Structure 1
Amino acid sequence: MTALKNSVRLIGNLGMDPEVKTFDNNRKLARLSIATSESYKNDKGEKVTETQWHQIIFWGAQANLAESYLKKGDTVIIEGKLASRQYNDKEGVKRYVTEIVVNEFVKMGSKA
Protein backbone atom coordinates (compact mmCIF):
# COMPACT_ATOMS: atom_id res chain seq x y z
CA MET A 1 0.00 0.00 0.00
CA THR A 2 2.94 2.37 0.40
CA ALA A 3 3.15 2.85 -3.39
CA LEU A 4 -0.47 4.05 -3.46
CA LYS A 5 0.06 7.00 -1.13
CA ASN A 6 1.12 9.37 -3.92
CA SER A 7 0.33 7.76 -7.23
CA VAL A 8 -1.12 9.20 -10.45
CA ARG A 9 -2.03 7.39 -13.67
CA LEU A 10 -3.24 9.26 -16.74
CA ILE A 11 -4.01 8.52 -20.36
CA GLY A 12 -4.03 11.56 -22.59
CA ASN A 13 -2.59 13.49 -25.51
CA LEU A 14 0.54 15.59 -25.42
CA GLY A 15 -0.09 19.28 -25.96
CA MET A 16 3.51 20.11 -26.83
CA ASP A 17 6.87 18.64 -27.76
CA PRO A 18 9.07 18.00 -24.72
CA GLU A 19 11.07 21.01 -23.52
CA VAL A 20 14.42 19.57 -22.48
CA LYS A 21 16.97 21.14 -20.16
CA THR A 22 20.42 19.65 -19.47
CA PHE A 23 22.13 20.54 -16.21
CA ASP A 24 25.87 20.81 -15.47
CA ASN A 25 26.07 17.19 -14.32
CA ASN A 26 24.52 16.03 -17.66
CA ARG A 27 21.25 15.20 -15.87
CA LYS A 28 18.25 15.97 -18.05
CA LEU A 29 14.81 17.34 -17.30
CA ALA A 30 12.00 17.09 -19.86
CA ARG A 31 8.81 19.07 -19.32
CA LEU A 32 5.54 18.82 -21.25
CA SER A 33 1.78 19.04 -20.87
CA ILE A 34 -0.83 16.33 -21.29
CA ALA A 35 -4.57 16.77 -21.87
CA THR A 36 -7.11 14.36 -20.43
CA SER A 37 -10.76 14.58 -21.47
CA GLU A 38 -14.03 13.35 -20.02
CA SER A 39 -17.42 13.44 -21.73
CA TYR A 40 -20.91 13.43 -20.27
CA LYS A 41 -24.44 14.48 -21.21
CA ASN A 42 -25.83 17.62 -19.63
CA ASP A 43 -29.45 18.21 -18.52
CA LYS A 44 -30.46 18.93 -22.15
CA GLY A 45 -28.97 15.65 -23.37
CA GLU A 46 -26.09 17.40 -25.14
CA LYS A 47 -22.65 15.85 -25.08
CA VAL A 48 -20.18 17.97 -23.11
CA THR A 49 -16.43 17.32 -23.12
CA GLU A 50 -14.22 18.74 -20.39
CA THR A 51 -10.46 18.81 -20.84
CA GLN A 52 -7.93 19.08 -18.02
CA TRP A 53 -4.28 20.02 -18.62
CA HIS A 54 -1.53 18.50 -16.50
CA GLN A 55 2.13 19.52 -16.27
CA ILE A 56 4.44 16.52 -16.61
CA ILE A 57 8.11 16.20 -15.59
CA PHE A 58 10.61 13.53 -16.67
CA TRP A 59 14.09 13.18 -15.10
CA GLY A 60 17.24 11.33 -16.19
CA ALA A 61 16.74 8.28 -18.41
CA GLN A 62 13.00 8.97 -18.68
CA ALA A 63 13.81 12.49 -19.94
CA ASN A 64 16.12 11.01 -22.59
CA LEU A 65 13.34 8.68 -23.76
CA ALA A 66 10.76 11.46 -23.77
CA GLU A 67 13.07 13.69 -25.82
CA SER A 68 13.70 10.90 -28.36
CA TYR A 69 10.23 9.40 -28.75
CA LEU A 70 7.49 11.84 -27.74
CA LYS A 71 5.97 14.69 -29.72
CA LYS A 72 2.89 16.91 -29.66
CA GLY A 73 -0.30 14.93 -30.30
CA ASP A 74 1.01 11.57 -29.11
CA THR A 75 -1.29 9.51 -26.90
CA VAL A 76 0.53 8.31 -23.79
CA ILE A 77 -0.08 6.48 -20.55
CA ILE A 78 1.91 7.91 -17.67
CA GLU A 79 2.39 6.76 -14.10
CA GLY A 80 4.02 8.99 -11.55
CA LYS A 81 3.56 11.04 -8.40
CA LEU A 82 2.33 14.53 -7.57
CA ALA A 83 4.94 17.12 -6.65
CA SER A 84 4.21 20.68 -5.57
CA ARG A 85 6.69 23.53 -5.57
CA GLN A 86 6.79 27.30 -5.37
CA TYR A 87 8.93 29.92 -7.08
CA ASN A 88 9.10 33.66 -7.61
CA ASP A 89 8.36 34.82 -11.16
CA LYS A 90 10.19 37.63 -12.98
CA GLU A 91 8.06 40.25 -11.21
CA GLY A 92 8.80 38.70 -7.81
CA VAL A 93 5.31 37.23 -7.37
CA LYS A 94 5.22 33.89 -5.56
CA ARG A 95 3.75 31.16 -7.80
CA TYR A 96 2.65 27.65 -6.87
CA VAL A 97 2.82 24.69 -9.25
CA THR A 98 1.68 21.08 -8.99
CA GLU A 99 3.31 18.71 -11.48
CA ILE A 100 3.39 14.99 -12.12
CA VAL A 101 6.86 13.46 -11.92
CA VAL A 102 6.86 10.45 -14.24
CA ASN A 103 8.10 7.04 -13.11
CA GLU A 104 6.98 5.14 -16.22
CA PHE A 105 5.28 5.92 -19.52
CA VAL A 106 4.01 4.12 -22.61
CA LYS A 107 3.50 5.77 -25.99
CA MET A 108 0.21 4.50 -27.42
CA GLY A 109 0.29 6.25 -30.80
CA SER A 110 0.18 9.55 -32.65
CA LYS A 111 -2.67 11.61 -34.04
CA ALA A 112 -2.71 11.35 -37.81
Structure 2
Amino acid sequence: MQNIVILAGNIGQTPETRNTEGGTSITHFTLATSRPRYSEGKVVRDGEGRRVQDTEWHRITVFNGLGKTVQAHCDKGMKVLVRGRIHYTKWTDQEGNDRYGCEIIAETVDFLNRAKQTESDDGKLVSDDEIPF
Protein backbone atom coordinates (compact mmCIF):
# COMPACT_ATOMS: atom_id res chain seq x y z
CA MET A 1 0.00 0.00 0.00
CA GLN A 2 1.15 3.53 -0.69
CA ASN A 3 0.46 6.93 0.83
CA ILE A 4 -0.16 9.17 -2.20
CA VAL A 5 -2.00 12.52 -2.31
CA ILE A 6 -2.71 14.71 -5.33
CA LEU A 7 -4.29 18.14 -4.72
CA ALA A 8 -5.02 20.97 -7.14
CA GLY A 9 -5.93 24.33 -5.66
CA ASN A 10 -4.98 27.90 -4.86
CA ILE A 11 -2.16 28.94 -2.56
CA GLY A 12 -3.72 30.63 0.48
CA GLN A 13 -0.69 32.52 1.75
CA THR A 14 2.72 33.46 0.44
CA PRO A 15 5.05 30.51 1.18
CA GLU A 16 7.35 30.93 4.20
CA THR A 17 10.75 29.30 4.52
CA ARG A 18 12.88 28.56 7.55
CA ASN A 19 16.12 26.65 7.97
CA THR A 20 16.92 24.07 10.64
CA GLU A 21 20.19 24.09 12.55
CA GLY A 22 21.23 21.12 10.40
CA GLY A 23 20.79 23.18 7.22
CA THR A 24 17.51 21.72 5.98
CA SER A 25 15.27 24.27 4.28
CA ILE A 26 11.56 23.88 5.14
CA THR A 27 8.88 25.82 3.24
CA HIS A 28 5.25 25.97 4.37
CA PHE A 29 2.11 27.21 2.63
CA THR A 30 -1.61 26.54 2.71
CA LEU A 31 -3.61 25.23 -0.22
CA ALA A 32 -7.35 25.74 -0.72
CA THR A 33 -9.34 23.10 -2.58
CA SER A 34 -13.05 23.29 -3.33
CA ARG A 35 -15.80 20.84 -4.14
CA PRO A 36 -19.53 21.22 -4.78
CA ARG A 37 -21.83 20.81 -1.79
CA TYR A 38 -24.39 17.99 -2.13
CA SER A 39 -27.71 17.43 -0.39
CA GLU A 40 -29.89 14.39 -1.03
CA GLY A 41 -27.68 13.41 -3.98
CA LYS A 42 -28.01 16.75 -5.78
CA VAL A 43 -25.69 19.72 -6.09
CA VAL A 44 -26.79 22.59 -3.81
CA ARG A 45 -27.35 25.90 -5.62
CA ASP A 46 -27.66 29.43 -4.19
CA GLY A 47 -30.48 31.88 -4.92
CA GLU A 48 -28.88 32.87 -8.23
CA GLY A 49 -28.44 29.29 -9.46
CA ARG A 50 -24.69 29.03 -8.82
CA ARG A 51 -23.25 25.90 -7.24
CA VAL A 52 -22.39 26.23 -3.55
CA GLN A 53 -18.76 25.21 -2.92
CA ASP A 54 -17.17 23.84 0.25
CA THR A 55 -13.53 24.87 0.69
CA GLU A 56 -10.95 22.80 2.55
CA TRP A 57 -7.55 24.08 3.65
CA HIS A 58 -4.44 21.90 3.57
CA ARG A 59 -1.07 22.57 5.19
CA ILE A 60 1.71 21.88 2.68
CA THR A 61 5.37 21.33 3.61
CA VAL A 62 8.18 21.33 1.03
CA PHE A 63 11.86 20.64 1.69
CA ASN A 64 15.19 21.93 0.38
CA GLY A 65 15.53 22.73 -3.37
CA LEU A 66 11.85 22.30 -4.22
CA GLY A 67 10.97 24.51 -1.26
CA LYS A 68 13.36 27.20 -2.47
CA THR A 69 11.72 27.08 -5.92
CA VAL A 70 8.25 27.37 -4.37
CA GLN A 71 9.40 30.28 -2.18
CA ALA A 72 10.93 32.10 -5.14
CA HIS A 73 8.18 31.55 -7.71
CA CYS A 74 4.85 31.07 -5.89
CA ASP A 75 2.54 33.62 -4.35
CA LYS A 76 -0.86 33.84 -2.70
CA GLY A 77 -3.70 32.93 -5.08
CA MET A 78 -1.55 31.00 -7.54
CA LYS A 79 -2.95 27.70 -8.82
CA VAL A 80 -0.71 24.67 -8.21
CA LEU A 81 -0.87 20.89 -8.34
CA VAL A 82 0.77 19.20 -5.34
CA ARG A 83 1.78 15.54 -5.31
CA GLY A 84 3.00 14.06 -2.06
CA ARG A 85 2.01 12.13 1.03
CA ILE A 86 -0.09 12.65 4.16
CA HIS A 87 1.88 13.04 7.37
CA TYR A 88 0.22 12.96 10.81
CA THR A 89 1.91 14.36 13.90
CA LYS A 90 1.21 14.14 17.61
CA TRP A 91 2.69 16.38 20.30
CA THR A 92 2.01 17.51 23.84
CA ASP A 93 1.18 21.19 24.36
CA GLN A 94 2.33 23.35 27.29
CA GLU A 95 -0.70 22.29 29.37
CA GLY A 96 0.13 18.59 28.87
CA ASN A 97 -2.69 17.94 26.39
CA ASP A 98 -2.14 15.66 23.43
CA ARG A 99 -2.45 17.58 20.15
CA TYR A 100 -2.69 16.21 16.62
CA GLY A 101 -1.94 17.65 13.20
CA CYS A 102 -2.02 16.69 9.56
CA GLU A 103 0.07 18.05 6.71
CA ILE A 104 0.95 17.15 3.15
CA ILE A 105 4.65 16.55 2.48
CA ALA A 106 5.02 17.66 -1.14
CA GLU A 107 7.27 15.74 -3.49
CA THR A 108 6.35 17.80 -6.58
CA VAL A 109 4.63 21.16 -7.07
CA ASP A 110 3.46 22.00 -10.60
CA PHE A 111 2.47 25.56 -11.53
CA LEU A 112 -0.99 25.66 -13.14
CA ASN A 113 -0.88 29.36 -13.99
CA ARG A 114 1.79 32.01 -14.44
CA ALA A 115 4.24 32.23 -11.59
CA LYS A 116 5.08 35.55 -9.96
CA GLN A 117 7.63 37.72 -11.72
CA THR A 118 11.21 37.94 -10.50
CA GLU A 119 14.23 40.04 -11.41
CA SER A 120 16.84 38.55 -13.70
CA ASP A 121 20.55 39.01 -13.06
CA ASP A 122 20.56 42.14 -15.26
CA GLY A 123 17.67 43.72 -13.29
CA LYS A 124 14.90 43.12 -15.85
CA LEU A 125 11.57 41.65 -14.73
CA VAL A 126 10.89 38.27 -16.28
CA SER A 127 8.11 35.79 -15.74
CA ASP A 128 9.15 32.55 -14.10
CA ASP A 129 8.32 30.49 -17.17
CA GLU A 130 11.36 32.17 -18.80
CA ILE A 131 13.71 31.11 -16.00
CA PRO A 132 15.36 27.69 -16.46
CA PHE A 133 15.18 25.42 -13.39
Report the TM-score, using the length of structure 2 for normalisation. Answer: 0.72
Residues 1-16 of structure 1 mapped to structure 2, 5 A cutoff: 5-16=2-13
Structure 1 unmatched ranges of 5 or more: none
Alignment partner, residue 56 of structure 2: 52
Alignment partner, residue 30 of structure 2: 33
Q: Is 2:93 the partner of 1:93?
A: no
How many pairs were matched up? Answer: 108
Higher-Rg structure is 2
Cα deviation digits, residues 43-83 of structure 1 (max 9, x gap): 88762111111110001111111111111101000100000
SS at match of 1:109: coil
Alignment partner, residue 18 of structure 2: 21
Tell me which of 41, 44, 54 is aligned to 1:42: 44
Alignment partner, residue 79 of structure 1: 83
Cα distance in 2 for partners of 1:13, 1:60 equals: 22
Is residue 30–residue 58 contact of structure 2 (8 Å, CA) maintained in 1?
A: yes
Q: Matched residues, percent identical?
A: 26
Tell me which of 106, 112, 115 is aligned to 1:102: 106
Cα distance in 2 for partners of 1:71, 1:109 equals: 11
Report the TM-score, using the length of structure 1 for normalisation. Answer: 0.84
Alignment partner, residue 72 of structure 2: 68
Structure 2 unmatched ranges of 5 or more: 38-42, 115-133
